[in-house]
Structure 1
Amino acid sequence: MKNMTWALSLVVGAALALGACATLSEEECVTSDWRRLGETDGASGKPIGFVAEHQAACSKHGITPDAAAWRAGWDGGITTFCTPANGARLGAEGRYYADSCPIDLKDGFEAPYYANKKVYDARQHRDQLRSRIDVLRYEIDEIRDDDKERREKRREIERLRDDLWDAEDELRRAEDDLRYERFADLVGR
């Protein structure tokens, strides 16, 4: 089953790599320590199929990477990426997650990642609405002798205030969920 999953990952990765830029130069293909490269890729959260991108880049130079060594390195590197603390940090920063954590590490990483990412996204949404309202207020102050345009902008501000109210409520819920998640971790669920 593990070999089948590995082969499927390679096929999917190869398909994705067709349109991708080369990950390695010819010199890097020749001199790479494939185990170390796999460890680096894993530690940075690259998915298991990422080796296919290296294979595609190196095949252009007639070089075949050592996929087994890369995989052995990736297995070690991904364990340093898929930690609860790293998930929390990446989510709080709004960073992308490539769904790369293996099943045995997935829950520990994803629960804090998604709880923190939800807060990040809610803050972003709230801040965008506030910014749009500020721009409209400025535009209203700059309008000269056009009551119709001023009224339209005021109506838009009122609609955005309703959206802002909802966004602030969404943020409060996300922060409450995050506090609950942290508390649950403290008491050991």
Structure 2
Amino acid sequence: MRKIYQSVFFILILSILSGCASMDQSECNHADWLSQGLTDGQSGQPENTYSLYADDCAEFGVSVSVPEYKKGWQQGIAQYCTRDNGWSVGISGGCYQNACPKSLEAEFYSAYQSAHNIHIKQQKIATLGYEIESLGDKLAKSGLSTSERDKLSEERNRKKKEKRNLNFELGLAKDDARRMGFPVGY
């Protein structure tokens, strides 16, 4: 079980680190700021991401064309902040960085929130499944005292009940998503 938590922690750290903007000297010298803004907008990066590039590139005497970057970012963020993309980002467990302008945020965020809720419930159900299985393995071991066996059995039953409740909540969340017009499996 500990290895599962370590793996999840490692993946989380990698995703956080990969989200950081950074440019080397060659990238700064050859940057197409319109394209960079477009790419960042399409991936849901906040508009002020250019300031990270500005810090990196200042070391090499290169300045960011902020108007070009912002022009590209506006085009890209309009593609990112759609209802369908909100669903895609949420259901995949992606992180929303509050990048959508207010005029585009409502539809994106509503879909994102619904999908992310489903994703989180599915993850919790899977984790509970592993924990229930692990407790079952422990119960199958010989040499446990009655007290230990009762404690493990009680914990396993509690987790089974929690899993049933989450499955019920997941069903309700999927029903809501279907009513919103999103493709949700059974």
Do 1:24 and 1:57's aligned partners in 2 also have CA atoms closer than 8 Å?
yes
Q: Confirm or deny that 1:45 pairs with 2:44.
A: yes
Tell me the TM-score normalized by structure 2.
0.81
Aligned partners of 2:54, 2:30: CA distance in 1, in Å?
A: 14
1:25/1:91 CA distance change after superposition, 3 Å: same
1:145/1:83 CA distance change after superposition, 3 Å: closer
Tell me the TM-score normalized by structure 1.
0.80
User: Residue in 2 aligned with 1:143?
Assistant: 142
Cα deviation, residue 145, structure 1: 4.5
Cα deviation, residue 22, structure 1: 5.8
Cα deviation, residue 56, structure 1: 1.1
Aligned CA-pair RMSD: 1.8
Cα deviation, residue 123, structure 1: 1.1
Aligned partners of 1:62, 1:21: CA distance in 2, in Å?
A: 21
User: Residue in 1 aligned with 2:78?
Assistant: 79
Q: What aligned pairs does 1:47-126 form with structure 2 within 5 A after superposition?
A: 47-126=46-125
Aligned partners of 1:168, 1:119: CA distance in 2, in Å?
A: 10
Aligned partners of 1:71, 1:62: CA distance in 2, in Å?
A: 21
Amino acid at match of 2:128: L
Which sections of structure 1, spanning at least 5 residues, go unmatched?
Answer: 1-19, 184-189
Cα deviation, residue 21, structure 1: 5.9
Identity of matched residues, %: 28
The number of equivalent residue pairs is 164
User: Residue in 2 aligned with 1:153?
Assistant: 152
Do 2:38 and 2:74's aligned partners in 1 also have CA atoms closer than 8 Å?
yes
User: Residue in 2 aligned with 1:31?
Assistant: 30
Aligned partners of 1:85, 1:130: CA distance in 2, in Å?
A: 30
1:45/1:21 CA distance change after superposition, 3 Å: closer
Cα deviation, residue 96, structure 1: 1.0
DSSP-derived class of the 2:100 partner = coil
DSSP-derived class of the 1:182 partner = coil
Do 1:115 and 1:181's aligned partners in 2 also have CA atoms closer than 8 Å?
no
Do 2:21 and 2:49's aligned partners in 1 also have CA atoms closer than 8 Å?
no
